[in-house]
């Protein structure tokens, strides 16, 4: 099977999903989960991406993000996955791959699609029975504990209370 070449930088919000290596449930533990979240927010702070919503599940990660002005989607995802895998290996001594090499992405084309993807991200821990309420799951943006970037779809959707650090 050949890999999809992503050579066109398409501006806007993307829904990204990436799995752990062999769907291992690595992120049931707080230590590796915290490392991934630290790396995600490091990348956000450096302008690699704007983060709109996310959830880190035991065997995968969902993101609603916009790549930074000088960053491709591939580079942003590589920095999250590569940086977190390196740190997990170094700090926790994991000797196996952390992430699958590929990821799935979808460019968000409408407010309706944005709402659907955001709700999917927020409800994933509830659906997987990891939490009774989305707001109680500690490794997702629905908890309200993380500063997020807004996007053009949120201004229109009025998706409810969120803590935004900046407006796009």
Domains of the chain by range and CATH? 14-166 (3.30.70.1290)
Summarize pLDDT for 105-123 with one digit per residue, the tens.
Answer: 999 999 999 999 999 999 9
36-72 burial string, b = 16+ CB within 10 Å, else e? bbebbeebbeeebbbbbbbbbbbbbbbbbbbbbeebe
Mean pLDDT by 10 residues, the chain (168 residues): 54 94 96 98 96 98 95 96 97 96 95 96 98 97 94 60 41
Pairwise CA distance, residues 77 & 164, whole Å: 22
Q: Let me know: does 51 contact 44? Beta carbons within 8 Å.
A: yes
Rounded-to-integer distance, Cα 139 and Cα 19, Å: 15
List the beta bridge partners of residue 51.
65
Contact (CB, 8 A) for 100 and 19:
yes
- Which pLDDT does position 10 carry in this prediction? 60
Residue 2 to residue 146: CA distance in whole angstroms:
37
Q: Smallest Cα–Cα separation from 120: which of 146, 148, 141?
A: 141
Say what the pTM is.
0.85
pLDDT tens readout for residues 72-98:
999 999 999 999 999 999 999 999 999
Q: Could you tell me where the beta strands, DSSP code E, fall in 96-166?
A: 104-107, 148-149, 164-166
């Amino acid at each position: 099977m050949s890999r999809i070449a992503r050579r066109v930088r398409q501006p806007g919000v993307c829904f990204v999903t990436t799995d752990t290596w062999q769907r291992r449930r690595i992120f049931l533990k707080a230590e590796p989960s915290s490392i991934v979240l630290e790396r995600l927010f490091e990348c956000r702070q450096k302008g690699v991406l704007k983060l709109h919503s996310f959830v880190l599940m035991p065997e995968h990660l969902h993101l609603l993000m916009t790549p930074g002005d000088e960053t491709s989607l591939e580079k942003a995802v590589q920095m999250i996955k590569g940086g977190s895998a390196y740190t997990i290996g170094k700090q926790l001594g994991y000797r196996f791959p952390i992430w699958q090499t590929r990821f799935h992405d979808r460019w968000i084309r409408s407010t309706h699609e944005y709402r659907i993807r955001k709700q999917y991200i927020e409800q994933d821990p509830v659906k997987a029975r990891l939490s009774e309420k989305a707001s109680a799951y500690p490794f997702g943006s629905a908890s309200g504990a993380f500063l997020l970037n807004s996007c053009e779809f949120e201004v229109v959707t009025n998706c409810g209370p969120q803590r935004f650090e900046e407006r796009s």
